[in-house]
Structure 1
Amino acid sequence: MEPTHSHVGVIMDLAWGCFYAGALNAVMQLGIADRLATGPKTAEELASEASAHPLSLYRVLRVLASKGIFAEDAERRFHLTPAAQHLRTGGPFSMQGMVQLGTLPPTMEAALHLPHTVKTGQCAFEYRHGVAFFEYLSQHPPLGEVFDKAMASVSDADNRAVAEAYDFGAASRVVDVGGGLGGLLVEVLRIYPSVRGVLYDRPEVVGQPGRLAAAGLDERVDRIAGDLFTSVPEGADIYVLKRILHDWADDTCVAILKHCRRAMAAGARVLVVDALMPPGNTDHPTKALDLCMLTVVPGRERTEAEFEALFRAAGLKLARVIPTADSVVILEGIAA
């Protein structure tokens, strides 16, 4: 096949992706999507509101409009598009945290060292900064807050989808392993009034009021502090690992699953909630997410067969894969 101009465009988009990321970050910091919520405006009007340089803002908005983020009309006014809605503050499935996380210097600097990872297998973030990603977050609280915001924006979409896709009604006790502020348990307990939840996470996490208190569900939840790398609470009917395993290498994942296997009551289930890597050459966001994992943490996105192998190594059997209305699936494991 002969190269064409369309191939050049693809290469340019990939090679110059940092500029698109910077443009997204700029309009997010200026609150452009929020300012367009009341109707279309010119770059001059937006610049006046945001104390920005009109021509520079126009040039940024023009390129984003070419990608479907905002739309420019014949009067040079810019409109919100469905994609731009994700940049609004507090909007449905807001991606502000993800944009900020992806454009922070520590993250972008790590991406520049991806050739080192490809040559050696060492995580680029750890190579560049000298510490693992999660340790870096603990050392830099402002970045940790950005990370938490980004993960919350993803979890909000996941939580309802998981609670609606899986029948938790037969369980009396559900443990959310690494459950953060309890968003998933809120959705599960709302739908299933007979279920009791266990929020299991680090002491500094489970000690926060979080969403359970705001939803008035604290009385139906036991908060247990601990370390999922060493153990999980015993005797539950369902153990949920939502977007946990993709952060870690296979041996760590197997160890976590083994802790769940040892703790399971008779007939219990382990639910792994993660994205599923599709086969072939299809363009899919999970493949881009896997590149992020390769750069920043020791984890990876996995195929169904790779998850099945993890389950088998931990003494579990992959019973079924349940789709959800979101980008994740539920992989249900039972005792082998």
Structure 2
Amino acid sequence: MGRRTPPVRLIQAVDRVRAALAGLHRSTAPGNVALLELATGAWTTQVLYVAAKLGIADQLATGPRRAADVAAAVGADPDAVHRLMRAMTSRGALRQRRDGRFALTAVGHALRSDSDGSLRDMVLFLGHPRHWEHWGALLHSVQTGEPAAEMLRGMPAFDYLDTDPEFAAVFNNAMTAASGLANDVALQAYDFSGCRLVVDVGGGHGAVLSTILRGAPDARGVLFDLPKVVEGAGPLLADAGVAHRTALEGGSFLESVPAGGDLYVMKNIIHDWDDEHALTILRNVRTGIAEDGRLLLLEMVLPERASSFIGHMLDLEMLVMLHGRERTRAQYADLLSRAGFRLIRVLPTVSPMSVIEAVAV
């Protein structure tokens, strides 16, 4: 069992304080100094990527160690590893003791491969050379409004993954890591006890659906995704103890979705698509949903005014990689209305994710 999750309002208050302190730092530092700190953010990504690739955090899992010992364990240059670990310390991932040994901080523990809530696989994606190339062409996306990944690869990003198994594995592992970050806390915000048939649209291997079904012991589930995806869902569903209550269906949500569910769930699906395709997906759900049915979207919801919210950066990731975007509450309400739904509420969580609830009309 992990630590008890603090209340949402407390987390939001802490986030506001952190944003205010960051703003105070930027406003009191000379402008060129603050700008330099921002502009070297790409260096930080690569520092964390190399640390994740070498398994630096795993070497510190049992306690503080000297950089030379870590370097010997990972097969890297001792001086360079020492310099890398100093840089990690400057970014808050490590701390250096008076005796010279380095220890993990809470941030550093999240870089371990075996820690609860590990984001090592996400870091390995964000710093991967292929992903690095995509962001290196952000100028193209801003000038044209088109995905840099599509320009560089000559095909849509999801099609490219089919041609590059190594990068596809990195991407899929990153998405699983991201799900682990948000699933439990997002789904804690909603009561699933009265559900009868839950349809997880684009549900991957069933991480979200299994979490829901564990909290709704009388419900059945349908896991819907591309055939090649749902074929690999068995082990996760079995480990969660919900395989006997889950039907697997393969298909494309751009064509149709399984019918008859009283609750449809989509996590990080709509943000992958432009409005035209998002409407197609939502209308397909509206066609299949029971008349008393509800729809839950698990997405980052942008504030109406720009802020320090990480969703603004993810919005650019959608621009660089896909034809998608992050949206505000008003934009989701408009999409849902045009698809035959009414937005009921947006539930914030302690993660950056929100739970958007809508009903069929």
1:201 and 1:176 map into 2 onto residues whose CA distance is: 8
Q: 1:314 aligns with which of 315, 339, 342?
A: 339
Aligned residues of 2:205 and 2:229 also touching (Cα < 8 A): yes
- SS of the residue aligned with 1:87? coil
Aligned residues of 2:57 and 2:104 also touching (Cα < 8 A): yes
Q: What corresponds to 2:241 in structure 1?
A: 216
Q: 2:59 aligns with which of 35, 41, 54?
A: 35
Aligned residues of 1:95 and 1:153 also touching (Cα < 8 A): yes
Q: 2:305 aligns with which of 249, 269, 280?
A: 280
Q: Which amino acid letter does the alignment assign opposite residue 213 of structure 2?
A: L
Tell me by how many angstroms 1:293 deviates.
Answer: 1.3
- SS of the residue aligned with 1:64? helix
- SS of the residue aligned with 1:194? coil
Q: What corresponds to 2:125 in structure 1?
A: 101
Matches within 5 A, 1:1-336: 5-208=29-232, 209-336=234-361
Aligned residues of 1:163 and 1:191 also touching (Cα < 8 A): no
Tell me by how many angstroms 1:10 deviates.
Answer: 3.3
CA deviations on 1:108-165 (whole Å, 9 max, x unpaired) are 1111211111111111111122111111111111111111110111112322223322
Q: Which amino acid letter does the alignment assign opposite residue 29 of structure 1?
A: K
- SS of the residue aligned with 1:83? helix
What is the TM-score when the length of structure 1 is the normalising length? 0.95
2:290 and 2:281 map into 1 onto residues whose CA distance is: 16
1:239 and 1:128 map into 2 onto residues whose CA distance is: 35
1:7 and 1:246 map into 2 onto residues whose CA distance is: 34
Q: Tell me: CA distance 1:61–1:8, structure 2 relative to 1, closer, same or farther (3 Å).
A: farther
Q: What corresponds to 2:8 in structure 1?
A: none
Q: What corresponds to 2:23 in structure 1?
A: none
What is the TM-score when the length of structure 2 is the normalising length? 0.89
- The alignment covers a number of residue pairs equal to 335
Q: Tell me: CA distance 1:3–1:315, structure 2 relative to 1, closer, same or farther (3 Å).
A: closer
Q: Which amino acid letter does the alignment assign opposite residue 316 of structure 2?
A: L
* Structure 1 spans left out of the alignment, 5+ residues: none
Q: Which amino acid letter does the alignment assign opposite residue 353 of structure 2?
A: V
2:28 and 2:209 map into 1 onto residues whose CA distance is: 51
Tell me by how many angstroms 1:323 deviates.
Answer: 2.2
- SS of the residue aligned with 1:90? coil
